[in-house]
């Protein structure tokens, strides 16, 4: 078994663990800091909306020796508007000029052909109206709201309302961070971005539901015992599914990273950036929120219940009594790894024998005999 697999098995059995729930205030503070940064970036810089949302024209040129900067300068000179130029894989250029109408498109195309020394008939022009982008945005908002409502209803039925609330907060957390990253890096928002944002909701919810399902199974009849609080069980559930969540996220991030860094950065396929960035940031944020946000929130909400408060009081009281008993006896209370029993469970129990047993030798036997053996 690999080291990672061995670690996952030990985490699942509870042999090793990390106190995610106990350090939840650190994760909350970190999430609040990242979220505030994203909101400030969104408010200050805003989103770089694509031509599909603002309206304008897209000109695709054949293979040319003109550089991207030269084409951008020529497009801005021909249109008197800001232009975005992307290099296509076959050596051509994709020139986007926003906020122009149909009447302006043909003169700009002719002026652009003259500046770039290209035959106007070989430049393909596509006109996009702003109404189409508005329809996409409206449908995206509608789909997002419907999705979240269905998620809350499903989780409330399959699990409980506290888990539904925690999952909803985690989803909002993921979307806010992803949109804020778009504002900070200045990537163009296109219909592909919208598709990516809607896609990450499923990935984020998947990791969260995996932990919730483990927590639901582990917390059955939790009030009938005095060993663990709900937070302890929640922490075990996170540790038990930690390696699975990490493996799933890494496997999902690798192809997305290929699209973002190799396709968009190395190969220059800038059109891949719009969807790949949203997927990359969203997947990472979703894995983080399922472990560090959603489950600790559920633990906080559950610990407010009267029966969970009573359970916590009993568990802490028993632990305090065990610690006091160990101090008064002058010995520490050690738990057995397999049974969980302590050394003080039975006062009359004889001490366990560890290793080979050595029988006592009768001192009177063999005295006076050279060989020391009985005849």
Which residue, 128, 144, 169, sits at the end of a domain?
128
Query: What are the pLDDT digits (tens) for 133-181?
Result: 678 778 888 888 888 899 899 999 989 999 999 999 999 999 999 999 9
CA–CA distance, 282 with 274 (Å, rounded to integer): 13
For position 81, which CATH number holds? 3.30.70.3400
Which residue, 280, 309, 338, sits at the end of a domain?
309
Compute the C-alpha angle 298/25/292, nearest 5°.
50
- Which range among 20-24, 98-102, 305-309 shows the weakest confidence by mean pLDDT? 98-102
- Specify the pLDDT at position 298: 94
Q: What single DSSP character describes residue 260?
A: I
- Pick the more confident residue, 333 or 101: 101
Tell whether the model's pLDDT for residue 115 goes beyond 50.
Answer: yes
CA–CA distance, 29 with 107 (Å, rounded to integer): 55
Residues 120 and 230 in one domain: no
- Return the SS3 of 73: helix
Residues 136 and 279 in one domain: yes
Residue 198's pLDDT band (boundaries 50, 70, 90)? Answer: confident
Greatest alpha-carbon span in the chain: 127
Which residue, 128, 152, 174, sits at the end of a domain?
128
- Specify the pLDDT at position 349: 36
- Determine contact, residues 272/259, Cβ cutoff 8 Å: yes
- Pick the more confident residue, 369 or 48: 48
Residues 23 and 36 in one domain: yes
Mean pLDDT computed over 330-348: 39
CA–CA distance, 239 with 9 (Å, rounded to integer): 10
The answer to whether residue 34 sits within a structural domain is yes
Q: Dihedral, CA atoms, 175, 177, 183, 188, nearest 10 degrees?
A: -50
Residue 353's pLDDT band (boundaries 50, 70, 90)? Answer: very low
Query: What are the pLDDT digits (tens) for 26-54?
Result: 999 999 999 999 999 888 888 888 777 77
Closest by CA to 278, choosing from 170, 178, 144, is 178
For position 293, which CATH number holds? 1.20.1640.10
Spatial strand order of the sheet with 93-98 comes to: 83-87, 93-98, 56-60, 124-128
The answer to whether residue 176 sits within a structural domain is yes
The residues, any chain, with a CB within 8 Å of residue 213's CB and separated by 6 or more, are 159
The answer to whether residue 263 sits within a structural domain is yes
How large is the angle between the packed helices 306-328 and 230-257, nearest 10 degrees? Answer: 110
Residue 258's pLDDT band (boundaries 50, 70, 90)? Answer: confident
Residues 36 and 178 in one domain: yes
Residues 113 and 184 in one domain: no
Residues 181 and 75 in one domain: no
Query: What are the pLDDT digits (tens) for 68-80?
Result: 788 888 888 877 7
Residues 33 and 172 in one domain: yes
The answer to whether residue 369 sits within a structural domain is no
Residues 61 and 186 in one domain: no
- Specify the pLDDT at position 97: 82
Q: What single DSSP character describes residue 338?
A: T
The answer to whether residue 345 sits within a structural domain is no
Domain count for the chain: 2
Residues 188 and 221 in one domain: yes
- Specify the pLDDT at position 271: 59
Dihedral pair phi/psi, residue 94, rounded to 5°: -115, 115
The answer to whether residue 258 sits within a structural domain is yes
Compute the C-alpha angle 34/39/43, nearest 5°.
150
Residues 220 and 99 in one domain: no
Residues 272 and 299 in one domain: yes
Residue 111's domain spans which residues? 56-128
What percent of the chain has a predicted confidence (pLDDT) above 70? Answer: 79
Residues 180 and 241 in one domain: yes
- Specify the pLDDT at position 268: 53
Closest by CA to 174, choosing from 260, 258, 247, 249, is 249
The answer to whether residue 297 sits within a structural domain is yes
Mean pLDDT computed over 331-338: 39
The answer to whether residue 359 sits within a structural domain is no
């Amino acid at each position: 078994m690999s080291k990672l697999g061995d670690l996952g098995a030990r985490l699942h059995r509870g042999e090793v663990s990390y106190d995610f729930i106990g350090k939840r205030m650190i994760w909350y503070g970190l999430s609040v800091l990242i979220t505030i940064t994203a909101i400030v970036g969104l408010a200050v810089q805003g989103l770089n909306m694509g031509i599909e949302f603002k309206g304008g024209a897209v000109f695709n040129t054949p293979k040319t020796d003109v550089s991207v900067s030269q084409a951008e300068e020529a497009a801005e000179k021909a249109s008197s508007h800001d232009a975005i130029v992307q290099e296509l894989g076959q050596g051509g250029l994709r020139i986007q000029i926003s906020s122009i109408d149909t009447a302006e498109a043909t003169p700009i195309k002719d002026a652009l052909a003259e500046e770039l020394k290209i035959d106007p008939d070989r430049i393909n022009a596509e006109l996009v109206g702003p109404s189409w982008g508005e329809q996409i945005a409206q449908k995206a908002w509608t789909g997002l709201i419907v999705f979240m409502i269905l998620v809350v209803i499903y989780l409330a039925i399959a699990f409980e309302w506290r888990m539904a609330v925690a999952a909803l907060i985690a989803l909002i957390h993921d979307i806010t961070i992803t949109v804020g990253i778009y504002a900070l890096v200045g990537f163009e928002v296109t219909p592909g971005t919208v598709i990516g944002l809607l896609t990450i909701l499923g990935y984020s919810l998947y990791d969260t539901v995996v932990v919730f399902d483990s927590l639901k199974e582990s917390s059955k009849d939790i009030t009938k015992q005095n060993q663990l609080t709900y937070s302890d069980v929640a922490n075990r559930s996170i540790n038990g599914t930690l390696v699975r969540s990490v493996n799933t996220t890494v496997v999902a991030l690798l192809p997305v990273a290929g699209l973002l860094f190799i396709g968009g950065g190395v190969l220059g396929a800038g059109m891949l950036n719009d969807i790949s960035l949203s997927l990359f940031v969203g997947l990472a944020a979703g894995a983080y929120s399922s472990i560090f946000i959603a489950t600790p929130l559920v633990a906080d909400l559950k610990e407010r219940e009267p029966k969970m408060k009573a359970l916590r009081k009993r568990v802490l009281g028993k632990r305090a009594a065990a610690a006091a008993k160990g101090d008064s006896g002058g010995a520490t209370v050690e738990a057995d790894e397999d049974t969980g029993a302590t050394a003080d469970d039975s006062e009359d129990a004889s001490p366990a024998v560890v290793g080979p047993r050595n029988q006592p030798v009768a001192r009177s036997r063999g005295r006076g005999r050279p060989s020391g053996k009985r005849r």
